[in-house]
Amino acid sequence: MKKTNPLYHSSSSTLANQARTMATVKTDTTATEPKSESITLRVKDQTGEETMFKVKKTTKMEKVFASYAGRKGVNVDSLRFLLDGQRIEKHQTSAELELEDEDQIDVMLEQLGGC
């Protein structure tokens, strides 16, 4: 008896002549691609003036700080950004801070010294 290689099968009909069926595969793009949700932040200064920023939840706050300082024409290092009285660090994101749409960030000019 002749041994046949299971990986190779010779037949009188070729693959081109055989009928082929393909399975339908459904893909859910929403499950595989996380949406980077955008929110609007309100940055309020000591005079009560508000500046709005639309950012993604993954954006580092450093970009918001630099943009705000650029709009106001001041050095970003002279400003302090606060959320509920706690200082916000540059490396944090709005997702880490659990910020929601229309949340307010307070900005203060840094002051040294005091009595």
What pTM did the predictor assign? 0.66
Q: Sign of dihedral through CA atoms 54, 30, 99, 61? A: negative
pLDDT in tens, the chain (115 residues): 555 555 555 555 555 555 555 555 555 555 544 566 899 999 999 999 999 999 999 999 999 999 999 999 999 999 999 999 999 999 999 999 999 999 999 999 987 776 6
| CATH of the domain spanning 34-109 | 3.10.20.90
| Residues 51 and 43 sit within 8 Å (Cβ to Cβ) | yes
